[in-house]
Amino acid sequence: MESLQGLLLALIIMVFGTTTHLIQAQPDPKDFISLDCGLHPAASPYTEPLTKLTYTSDANFTQGGQSGRVQKSFEEDYKPFTVLRYFPDGIRNCYNLKVILGTKYLIKALFLCGNYDGLRDAPKFDLYLGPNIWTTSKWQDGPVVATTIRVRFPPCGNYSASSGHQSGKTTPIISALELRPLRDDTYNTTSGSLMLFKREFASDNFSPPFIRVNASTPYELPQEVISKAVVNQNVTEKLSFDWYVDDRKDQAFIYLHFAEIQTLRGNDTREFDITWEGDNENFTVSAYLPPKLQLETLYNPYPMKCTFLECTVELVMTKSSTLPPMINAMEAYKIIDFPDAETNPEDVAAVQNVRDTYEISRIDWQGDPCVPQMFKWEGINCSYTNTTIPPRIISLDLSSSGLEGLIASSIQNLTHLQELDLSNNNLSGEVPEFLANMESLLLINLGWNSLAGPIPEALRDREKKGLKLTVQGNPNLCLSGSCNNNNEKVLVPVIASVASVAALVALLVLIFVFRKKTPLAEGTAAATTRELPRKSSIYSRKKRFTYSEVVELTDNFKRVLGEGGFGVVYHGSLNDTEPVAVKVLSESSVQGYKEFKAEVELLLRVHHINLVNLVGYCDEGGHLALIYEYMANGDLKQHLSGESAGSTLKWASRLKIAVEAAQGLEYLHVGCEPPMVHRDVKSTNILLDDRFEAKLADFGLSRSFCVGAETQVATVVAGTPGYLDPEYYQTNWLNEKSDVYSFGIVLMEMITNRSVIELTREKAHIAEWVKILISRGDLEKIVDTNLGGDYDSTTVWKILELAMSCVSHSSSDRPTMSKVVNVLKECLISENSRIKGGQVQDDDSKNSLELNVDFGTQVTPDAR
């Protein structure tokens, strides 16, 4: 199934077709929902003359799409559905319909293209019912004809979403949508729902005049259908109906509707056998006699599989019959399963209330917030235990969303919420105490708003128990806990403050008088009037910089160090002495504010000798910049590839760098609270300082994950091709083992000095290529020839084994980063011993490093 980017119909059943002969039960029409999609609200409601159904505009049932009209040459054929709604924007658009718990429904949708856009292209898009894929729209007879889809549903809940997504560059459309309740004793299945495959009934084949059939059965068909019949003119031929399924596993039901509408003469008999030979069992009715002017419906009581994808039902005249078989109508249905559960309804109601409170108008905030999983709402993460358990919302990110007013009280109804980010908005009022009562919350970011007053004591208590609370950037927020607005209590401090100010003024006056009477010593005047350094505004280190300060410390962006996905990196200096690297977001950057914010927040709260230190950042008027400690020797990739000046890194140096990078990654996994996944580990993100100490960099894609029962989180896949964990790519489930995979690829780079993706070799991907050579025992072809054989083969084999275990296809088979660190340290100790045993070292700066294996406590994981 192709992925689609467009229409999401949020309903509980399925789509509508324009037929005047509806084969279904007829409950009270006032319970029907009949939408003429794209119809202007001023033109509805109206009653369709043939079906007598009352149609209304769909304007109140969807928030997306635009109105279109079929070309004039098709209007006569398409009446009354000459308008349609098309959805050019958004990755999903929804129709939301309310249903009654425990009621069975029929849903039908009509898609009339009518060359409305003049392109004569048949649109193709997927349709979803809630979280489940329903079908793909198909225009088999050309780009301008109608497509109808129907499905009958078992009893269901009171909220549902059906969805479609645009495929390629086509735009989803819909012309009409109907939802109606059915009787409980019709169209029953042991499991799943029924989707119409084939339907046949008579037009004018056999239609006696003025015949009325009693249709008072569960299957109350319209008189226009049951007062006519299909019959062969050749009385010796059998009457058969054929249809095809897509898969041999597909199961089907048939519904055969009979009523004898002919007045039989004295010796006439209409008797026939009904047979359907299935793949697993047969459906047979022998010597059947249709009841006179009374509707009767026959169907197979159990689902059946068709033989070789072809389903055939035959009506064969018996030897005692004088008249051929006849049938008024037949329906064939395929069973389709909708196994995935919708989001917990309490979470749905809560997040919809948040949306309405802040008037959030994001195009993708329609329908179900968590499902379908690949189209969940932006800024929301959910827990997905299995398909039958409703997902729960565990993360809500509304940072930089233009929110105003108080913090919405409906947030407290998201009882499984673990992370809440409301930063960089214009929220006002006090920090609500209900946040402290949300037991699942692990992280709250309220920074850079206009909040005021004290922070609730209960929230401070939660902080002491591990809650991460960020509140900086709220100038009127009291952080000390001693705020009090009681006038009586503040009266004494105010008087004391006034007295102190008065005393200070008096003291300054005395000093001024005294200095006027005392002449300055020679040379002192020059000293006191000496001009301060040009960059005095940033003389002292700080975390947040203005854009003018960034311009100043980079000398107007004079020296470029490099360029990446975020933007250009410039050289800068603090105090004219301390070098820094300044990464400035470019307008064309593939990364954006979300990644910028993620990196700032991570680096402000984590500190480790093997993580690049964040000196500060700039977030002012659309200017975004990150200011790091300067890493004088660039990245690992440059030194492996020979891009940097100097000789090749020796094996011992590579091992030391691997240990240090692994320690930084280990700290993120087990030393941070909550733990972090880097998501973009690669050789270009391992930087080297002036002493060739390795530090992990670029945390814009980093994500936190939970510990305990849930050790992974569903995310949109991010990372670098070649380094990206295939399990994460296929499932969207992220955990720390995704970083382990990427680090395994880095180890292979260190050993081989070969590109991660190289189309000209036997296997393009480095892991597959190394695997083949390992199976042949060909170590010499694996190891970088620039090492000149200066390595211990035992150590190299051990690192190769470690790297291969890191890139295991299943994350459960990969080691932890703590295990990786231990193995690397053992190998480095072994290599150090080999070198001290008499091997000659080169004198260049890269390889005369002191390979100290006593790493000490400063590099062990330590939460802050």
pLDDT: which is higher, 211 or 755: 755
Tell me the Cα Rg of the chain: 37
pLDDT at residue number 17: 26
Least confident of 351-355, 427-431, 434-438, 523-527: 523-527
State which amino acid sits at residue 51.
T
Q: What are the domain boundaries of the chain?
A: 29-184, 199-336, 360-478, 636-859
Topology adopted by domain 199-336 = Jelly Rolls (2.60.120)
Q: Which of 164-173, 599-608, 636-645 has the highest mean pLDDT?
A: 636-645
Cα(806)–Cα(727) distance, integer angstroms: 13
Residue 356: per-residue pLDDT: 92
Pick from 11-25, 128-142, 343-357: least confident? 11-25
Count CA atoms closer than 13 A to 707's CA, side-chain side.
Answer: 10
What does the alpha-carbon distance between residue 222 and residue 215 come to, in Å, rounded to a whole number? 8
pLDDT, position 37 = 93
Question: What's the pLDDT at 63?
Answer: 82
The DSSP H or E segment spanning 797 is: helix 793-806
Catalytic residue among 58, 364, 680, 725: 680
73-116: per-residue pLDDT in tens?
888 877 888 899 998 887 788 888 887 777 888 888 888 888 88
The length of the chain in residues reads 864
**How many CB atoms neighbour CB 778 within 10 A?**
11
**What pLDDT digit, counting tens, does each position of 278-304 carry?**
887 889 999 999 999 999 999 998 888
Token pair 């406590």 in the structure block, residue: 857
Q: Looking at residue 160, what is its pLDDT? A: 37
Distance, CA of 578 to CA of 351 (rounded, Å): 48
Contacts of 646 (CB under 8 A, 6+ apart): 639, 844, 845, 846
Whether the Cβ atoms of residue 752 and residue 766 lie closer than 8 Å to each other: yes
Whether residue 16 is predicted with pLDDT greater than 80 in this model: the reply is no
Please write the tens of the pLDDT for every residue from 443-488.
Answer: 999 999 999 999 999 999 998 888 999 998 898 998 765 555 444 4
Topology annotation, domain 360-478: 3.80.10
Report the mean per-residue pLDDT for the chain: 78
- How far is the C-alpha of 10 from the C-alpha of 162, rounded, in Å? 4
Residue 141 pLDDT grade (very low, low, confident, very high; cuts 50, 70, 90): very low
For 177, counting Cβ atoms within 10 Å of its Cβ (0-12 exposed, 13-18 middle, 19+ buried), the class is: buried
pLDDT range class, residue 797, cuts 50, 70, 90:
very high
- Residue 162 in contact with residue 130, Cβ under 8 Å? yes
Cα separation of 58 and 37, whole Å?
5
The first and second tokens of residue 729, run together, are 């790519």
**Which residue type, as a one-letter code, is found at position 33?**
I
Question: What does the pLDDT read at residue 243?
Answer: 84
Q: Is 165 exposed, middle or buried (0-12, 13-18, 19+ CB in 10 A)?
A: buried
Whether residue 840 is predicted with pLDDT greater than 50 in this model: the reply is no
Q: For 160-187, how does the pLDDT look when each residue is reduced to its tens digit (9 = 90+)?
A: 334 444 444 468 889 999 888 888 888 8
Q: Is 296 helix (H, G, I), strand (E, B) or coil?
A: strand
Q: How many helices (H) does the chain have, and how many strands (E)?
A: 16, 45
Pairing status of strand 392-397 against strand 419-421? parallel
Strand 450-454 to 426-429 pairing? parallel
Residue ranges for the known binding site for ATP are 583
Is 214 within 8 Å of 358 (Cβ atoms)? no
Distance CA(658)–CA(821), nearest Å, equals 9
SS3 of 636, please? helix
Beta partners for residue 560, in sequence order:
570
Return the pLDDT at 53: 85
Cis peptide upstream of residue 674 (ω within 30 degrees of 0): yes
pLDDT at position 841, please? 44
Q: 286: helix, coil or strand?
A: strand
Q: State the residue for tokens 């059965």.
A: 217
Residue 25 or residue 184, greater confidence: 184
* Coil vs helix vs strand at 602: helix
pLDDT at 704 over 80: no
**Measured in Å, how far apart are the chain's first and last C-alpha atoms?**
46
Q: Is the pLDDT of residue 805 over 90?
A: yes
Query: Rounded to an integer, what distance in angstroms lies between the CA atom of residue 742 and that of residue 721?
Result: 10
Residue among 4, 375, 389 nearest 165 (CA): 4
C-alpha 285, offset from chain centre: 51
Q: Which of 5-9, 119-123, 134-138 has the lowest mean pLDDT?
A: 5-9
The two structure tokens encoding residue 6: 């467009």
Q: Which fold has domain 29-184?
A: Jelly Rolls (2.60.120)
Lowest pLDDT segment from 287-296, 564-573, 834-843: 834-843
How far apart CA 59 and CA 67 sit, in angstroms, is 10
Structure tokens at 586: 């470019």
Task: Compute how many other C-beta atoms are within 10 angstroms of the C-beta atom of residue 555.
Answer: 13
Checking if the pLDDT of 676 tops 80, the result is yes
The strand pairing partners of 273, in sequence order, are 316
| Strand-strand pairing, 703-704 and 676-677 | antiparallel
Backbone phi, psi, residue 803, to 5° = -60, -40
Helix (H), strand (E) at residue 628: strand 623-629
Percentage of the chain exceeding pLDDT 90 = 32
Where are any strands of DSSP class E within 414-542?
419-421, 426-429, 443-445, 450-454, 468-470, 476-478
Q: Which residues are annotated as a binding site?
A: 583
Residue 390 in this model has a pLDDT that exceeds 80: yes
What is the rounded CA–CA span in Å between residue 345 and residue 7?
23
CA dihedral 226, 232, 233, 236 (to 10 degrees): -140
With beta carbons less than 8 A apart as the criterion, state whether 285 and 298 touch.
yes
Q: What is the per-residue pLDDT for 540?
A: 37
Higher pLDDT, 750 or 713: 750
**More confident: 253 or 523:** 253
Q: DSSP class of residue 862? A: -
Task: Report how far Cα 283 is from the mean position of its chain's Cα atoms.
Answer: 46
- CATH assignment of 636-859? 1.10.510.10
pLDDT for position 161? 38
Does 680 qualify as catalytic in the annotation? yes
pLDDT of residue 743: 96
pLDDT value of residue 698: 81
Q: Identify the pLDDT of residue 464.
A: 87
Residue % of the chain over a pLDDT of 70: 76
Q: What's the token pair of residue 738?
A: 């995704």
Please tell me the least confidently modeled range out of 494-503, 699-708, 767-776.
494-503
Helix, strand, coil shares of the chain, percent, nearest 5, are: 25, 25, 50
The reply to whether domains 29-184 and 636-859 share a CATH topology is: no
Distance between CA atoms of residues 730 and 508, nearest Å: 72
Judge whether residue 440 has pLDDT over 60. Answer: yes
